[in-house]
Amino acid sequence: MAAYRLYVELDGTTRIEPLDLLARPWENGPGDFKGVGGSVLGNASRVMLMRFERGARPPPHRAAPGFAVLLDGELVVSASGGDEVTLRAGDAIRVETTGTGGWRLGNRAEGFALLALVQMPPPTSDRPTCP
């Protein structure tokens, strides 16, 4: 998987350079979250890159509205109602809960899984949701 950074120099010229996502600083959580590292990409506070080590399966938590794309590995997404799907590299999931619904993410595969998660504000009553 390749990643790049597009940036602008002082003279206004744009450049592209390789970006090593795994070389970024990663924050690890306590307890069951030790296998999950998060890294904020750029200045956007609502864009996260999450790395799930092999065997990581944090407890269920509330799902904020968002859109996620699995960049590498495999990741199991479980809903509180028992539904489950395995995402593979390139797969995406749109999360439309508003804080009352929960989900659980886990890595049952060998190696790590890398998930890009973009949090989105919940829809307002005047904006329709996707079917």
Tell whether the model's pLDDT for residue 102 goes beyond 80.
no
Binned at pLDDT 50, 70 and 90, residue 40 comes out as low
Q: Please state the φ and ψ torsions of residue 71, each to the nearest 5 degrees.
A: -90, -30
The H or E element that residue 31 is part of is none
Q: What is the pLDDT of residue 99?
A: 59
Which pLDDT tens digit goes with each residue over 43-59?
444 678 888 999 988 88
- d(CA 117, CA 46) in angstroms, rounded, equals 8
Distance between CA 106 and CA 112 in Å, rounded? 10
The listed CATH number (2.60.120.10, 3.40.50.2300, 1.10.3720.10, 3.30.450.20) that belongs to domain 25-119: 2.60.120.10
Q: Cβ neighbours of residue 23 under 8 Å, at least 6 residues apart?
A: none
Q: pTM to 2 decimals?
A: 0.67
Strand pairing class (113-119; 61-62): unpaired
pLDDT computed for residue 1 by the predictor: 59
